[in-house]
Structure 1
Amino acid sequence: VYWHSHIHWSGNWGGKSNAARAALEQLYSTGELVIHHKKGARKFYDLAEKYLPRTLLAAPDPFPEDAAHQRWRMLRRIGAVGLMWNRPSDAWLGIPGLKADQRKDAFRKLMEEGKLCEVSVEGMREMLYCLAEDVFLLEEVRQERIPGGKRCELLAPLDCLLWDRRLIRELFGFDYTWEIYTPQPKRKYGFYVLPLLYGDSFAGRVEAVAGGDRCLLVKHIWLEEGVRRTKAFDTALERCFRRFAAFNGCSRTVWPQG
Structure 2
Amino acid sequence: MHRLTRDQARRIAVRAQLLDAERPGDVVEVAEQIGSVKIDPTAVIAPCEHTVLWARIGFGYEPGHLQKAVEDDRALFEFDGRFRPASLLPALLPRLRRREFRPQTQEWLDANARFRRDLLARLRADGPLAASDLEDTSQVAGNDEAGWYGSNQVPRMLELLSHRAEVAIVGRRGRNRVWDIAERAYAGVAELGYDEAGAVLERRRLQAAGIAKRKSPWTPVGEAGEPAEVEGSAWKWRVDPDALATLDDDPGGRVALLNPYDGMLFDRPRLKELFEFDYVLEQFKPKAQRRYGYFAHPILLGDRFVGLVDAALDKKKEKLVVEAVHELTPFDDDEREMVDAELRDLAEWLGVELSAAEAS
Matching of residues 14-163 of structure 1 within 5 Å: 18-29=152-163, 30=165, 32-40=167-175, 42-48=176-182, 54-56=187-189, 59=190, 61-65=191-195, 68-92=196-220, 106-107=222-223, 110=224, 116-141=225-250, 145-146=251-252, 150-163=253-266
Provide the C-alpha distance between the structure 2 equivalents of 1:198 and 1:55, rounded to a whole number of angstroms. 43
Residues 214 and 3 (structure 1), Cα distance of their counterparts in 2 relative to 1, 3 Å cut: same
Pairs aligned (count)? 221
Is the 2:149–2:155 Cα contact (8 Å) retained in structure 1? Answer: no
CA contact (8 A) 2:168 2:185 kept: no
**1:89 to 1:28, Cα distance in 2 relative to 1, 3 A:** closer
> Equivalents in 2 of 1:137, 1:218: separation in Å?
37
Q: Is the 8 A contact 2:158 2:167 kept in 1?
A: no
Hey, what's the Cα distance between the residues in 1 that align with 2:313 and 2:148? 32
TM-fit CA distance, 1:50: 5.1
Match of 1:221 in 2: 325
Deviation digits for residues 148-189 of structure 1 (CA, Å, limit 9, x no counterpart): xx4211111122221111111111211101111222232222
Deviation at 1:75, TM superposition (A): 1.9
- Deviations along 1:88-119, one digit per CA (max 9) or x if unpaired, are 33234xxxxxxxxxx7xx31xx3xxxxx1333
Deviations 1:66-95 (Å, cap 9, x if unpaired)?
A: xx3333222222222222011333234xxx
Deviation for aligned residue 1:3? 2.4
Q: What residue is the counterpart of 2:300 in the other structure?
A: 197
TM-score for both structures, normalised by structure 2: 0.54
Structure 2 distance, partners of 1:50, 1:89, is: 33
Instruction: Give a deviation string over 1:14-56, Cα, whole Å, max 9, x none.
Output: 977643112222333305333332333x32223455555x433
Identical amino acids, percent of aligned pairs: 22
Runs (5+) with no aligned partner, structure 2: 1-111, 113-136
The CA deviation at 1:203 is 0.5
SS of the residue corresponding to residue 142 of structure 2 reads strand
Partner amino acid, structure 1, of 2:340: E
Distance 1:204 1:73 in 2: 33
- CA 1:135–1:33: 2 relative to 1, 3 Å: same
Of the two structures, which has the highest relative contact order with CA contacts closer than 8 Å and spacing of 6 or more? 2
Alignment match, 1:96: none
AA of the residue aligned to 1:39: G
Contact 1:36 1:46 in 2 (8 A): no
